[in-house]
Amino acid sequence: MRSTYASISLANIKHNIELIRSRLKPETKYLAVVKANAYGHGMEAVANCALESGAAYLGVAFAEEGVRLRLAGITAPILLLGATDEDHMDDVIRHFLMPTVFTVETLQLLQAHAVKLGMVCRVHIKADTGMNRIGFTSEATFTEAILLLKRCPNLVLDGLFTHFAVSELADTSFTLLQAERFRRYVEICSQNGLHPILHASNSAAALHIPEAQFDMVRGGIAMYGCHPAGHTVKGIDLRPVMSWHAYITHIKTIPAGEGVSYGLKFVTPCDMRVGTVAVGYGDGYKRCLSNKSEVLIRGIRARQIGTICMDQMMIDLTNVPDAVVGDDVVLLGRQGNDAITADELADLAGTISYEILLSISERVPRVYTKD
Ligand SMILES: Cc1ncc(COP(=O)(O)O)c(C=O)c1O
């Protein structure tokens, strides 16, 4: 085992899913978004845990991710949230993955591939109601697609969905407008006798915009224990799933006036006890956090000093005089009464919690705990 590891609490995934679901209508289904290696947490383990915790569907970005789940023995419905190109259609159909469709041409191609394989392909159609990423933007073209789909014996409309662009804002007006636009597409389906499962909300909308709730929500970041929107923090006991640990590999006292690390950008103002930790930007601890972030040692905050290297970084041990080589260093997560959150690191790095979690590289072993 390397000197650093990320501990993933399966109990907290379960807790977070149950918490999110407790805020939904009882009949609303939960799609667990496990794309990008489950936001860095490990796709197979998270998918299995989410399904055991009540998730009905899984969501990934593209075919390879879906196939990976199938090869792990997962049989639950899997939605591919991104575009599927023709090269991947046979794999998608063979593995019973559900592609997202947002052009008439894709429907035609899927039907042709399904006929060739003698199989049925369940699809979700996406309407773009304001995100301007993927999805039908014209009701006329959408109607054309629905009529075509009805004539395709090898295609089944499993779902209809849209995606919100600003559901993390306290001002819900644009999200509600998107929900309203989505209802037009739902109506077109109904008028044509189609009643797919409807879904729109991501974590932020699932937690705080009940008016935009349809038959299913697609939850990612909240399941991993991060608050999707600052104003939703209060009273919602989401529990961070990942904590990232390392240990002190070396301690020395550096005399006053010495530079530390590449570029000598940190200069010791006095004699300083400094610890080295074997984690760096090669592990996903962002270099832009240099001289900004803090870690926890013996439950006490200690600041990172000097440029973060690829595999190592230095910590000012002034606040932790008792620290010794081998002490646990928490880069992310709780120790004692304090915690370093993904949001804290994200603020310092000028990004969002998603990117902090996803940046933690494959070099860092994931260890799963049941508590
Ligand atoms: C289409 C779609 N649905 C749902 C999600 C989950 O969003 P969140 O992690 O904010 O819950 C994402 C995430 O990027 C997405 O792209």
- Cα separation of 28 and 359, whole Å? 32
255 Cα to the center of ligand 1, angstroms: 49
Domains belonging to the chain, first-starting first, are 10-226 (3.20.20.10), 242-369 (2.40.37.10)
pLDDT digits (tens, 9 = 90+) for 38-91: 999 999 999 999 999 999 999 999 999 999 999 999 999 999 999 999 999 999
Residue 36 confidence (pLDDT) above 80:
yes
pLDDT digits (tens, 9 = 90+) for 46-59: 999 999 999 999 99
pLDDT digits (tens, 9 = 90+) for 168-191: 999 999 999 999 999 999 999 999
- Cα separation of 8 and 47, whole Å? 13
Could you tell me if the CB of 163 is within 6 A of ligand 1?
Answer: yes
What pLDDT was estimated at residue 177? 98
Q: Closest Cα to atom 8, ligand 1: which residue?
A: 220
Catalytic residue among 25, 150, 252, 262: 262
- Cα separation of 185 and 166, whole Å? 20
Per the CB < 8 A criterion, the answer to whether 171 and 133 are in contact is no
Q: Does the active-site annotation cover 39?
A: no
Q: In this structure, which amino acid lies at residue 25?
A: K
pLDDT digits (tens, 9 = 90+) for 227-275: 997 766 668 999 999 999 999 999 999 999 999 999 999 999 999 999 9
Q: Residue 299 corresponds to which tokens in the numbers above?
A: 């439950």
User: Is the pTM value of this prediction over 0.95?
Assistant: yes
1 band by pLDDT with thresholds 50, 70 and 90: low
Could you tell me if the CB of 88 is within 6 A of ligand 1?
Answer: no
Q: Residue 342 corresponds to which tokens in the numbers above?
A: 């993904």
- Cα separation of 339 and 75, whole Å? 37
Q: Closest Cα to atom 9, ligand 1: which residue?
A: 220
Q: What is the mean pLDDT of residues 343-367?
A: 97
Q: Is the dihedral of CA 290, 300, 41, 209 positive or negative?
A: negative
Note the residue count of the chain. 371
Per the CB < 8 A criterion, the answer to whether 135 and 141 are in contact is no
Report the chain's terminal Cα–Cα distance, integer Å. 21
Which string of DSSP letters, residue by residue, matches 217-234? EEE-TTTTT--SSGGG-T
Q: Does the active-site annotation cover 262?
A: yes
Q: Residue 94 corresponds to which tokens in the numbers above?
A: 């063979």
H/E stretch holding 180? helix 173-191
Per the CB < 8 A criterion, the answer to whether 271 and 254 are in contact is yes
Q: What average pLDDT is seen over the chain?
A: 97
b/e sequence 278-307, b meaning 16+ C-beta within 10 Å: bbbbebbbbeebbeebbbbbbebebbbbbb
